Amino acid sequence: MSRKFQYTTLIENLDKLPSLPSIAIDLMSVLNSRTSSASDLAKLISMDPGLSSTVLRISNSSFYGMPRTVSSVSGAVVILGFNTISSIVLGDAVIGAFPEIKGVNFFDREKFWKHSVAVASAGRLIAKSLLPMVYVDAESAFSAGIIHDVGMLVFEQLIPEEYSLVCSFVSETGETFVYSEEKILSTNHASVGRILADKWRLPSNLEEAMVFHHDVCGYSGDSPLVYIVNLADIIAERAGFGLVESSSESVEFIEESCSKLYLEEDEFDSICEEFIENREKEESLMESFLKR
């Protein structure tokens, strides 16, 4: 495929890209309103029976370790907090925006979403570990992790035949998806993520995390989420939730991201070890998200 793909094919097919579910759009309105309350969020979620079920299932997963069963959406919002429930809703909405395509079996959806949830969870852990040196909303880090690779799903949906070649190349060579996409498609899922982020009108910090998490050394902005998602991606790989069997982590990237976050590399290693030690809880969270 020629480089023409990068500049014209996606633009011509913008209308085929999935829209962000209305519940997520309404959620952003609630989040951006200074007058919104926890009860407003609970009321919004309660209007959708499927989403209500998802929120309760995730809230009661062993990941959160609730001492008693959470039986209502309003209770979940009170116990887990406004921001945590918001990140759960956004994550569920993004997963629901990309239904599986019949007849497509070259792309492992389950592995993809497990990786995404792992990166989200690791990102949240990193954000909490940065305090008080760097303040980053932990739930924003979670949301950034959920969406960081959705450009892959754009490829899968718009150009399945070409993307099957990418997946085959990854499987045969062990190369990263970014390298393989650029070799075959002359672009990559991070760059394509920008188009989807613009369509969804995502906040700039989430968009930048999507676009630059594989290129932290080339990033000139000031959003810590870019470096958090980069490190969270590496943690997910180390924990066995990578998208390819071989590790693609770069010492240069680790050094750059740790430096920007004022994080010592031994501190990063400790965060990684903590994540791996809690693997069972992480898997519980993954299963709760993917049970639809």
Global pTM?
0.88
pLDDT at position 10: 61
Domain 4-16+102-290 bears CATH identifier 1.10.3210.10: yes
pLDDT in tens, 200-209: 888 899 999 9
Residues of the chain with CATH 1.10.3210.10: 4-16+102-290
Average pLDDT, the chain: 85
Label residues 45-55 b or e (16+ Cβ within 10 Å = b).
beebeebbebb
Percent of the chain at pLDDT above 70?
91
Percent of the chain at pLDDT above 90?
38
The Cα 205–Cα 209 span in angstroms is 6
The Cα 146–Cα 94 span in angstroms is 8
Q: Does residue 124 surpass a pLDDT of 90?
A: yes
- Residue 250 has which token pair? 């770069």
Lowest mean pLDDT among 25-29, 91-95, 126-130: 25-29
pLDDT at position 82: 82
pLDDT at position 3: 46
Sequence-ordered list of residues with C-beta below 8 angstroms from that of 103, at least 6 positions apart, any chain: none
Closest CA to 128 of 279, 291, 288, 275: 275
Using DSSP's 3-state secondary structure scheme, residue 291 falls into coil
Using omega within 30 degrees of 0 as the cis cutoff, is the peptide bond preceding 67 cis? no
pLDDT at position 4: 46
pLDDT in tens, 15-31: 677 777 777 778 777 76
Rg value, the chain, Cα: 18
Q: Does residue 32 surpass a pLDDT of 70?
A: no
H or E stretch at 86: helix 82-96
pLDDT in tens, 160-212: 888 899 999 998 988 889 999 999 988 899 988 888 888 888 889 999 999 99
pLDDT at position 229: 97
- Residue 43 has which token pair? 């009321």
Sequence-ordered list of residues with C-beta below 8 angstroms from that of 188, at least 6 positions apart, any chain: 151, 177, 178, 181, 182, 214
Q: Does residue 38 surpass a pLDDT of 90?
A: no
pLDDT in tens, 218-262: 999 999 999 999 999 999 999 999 887 655 557 778 999 999 999
More confident residue, 8 or 108: 108
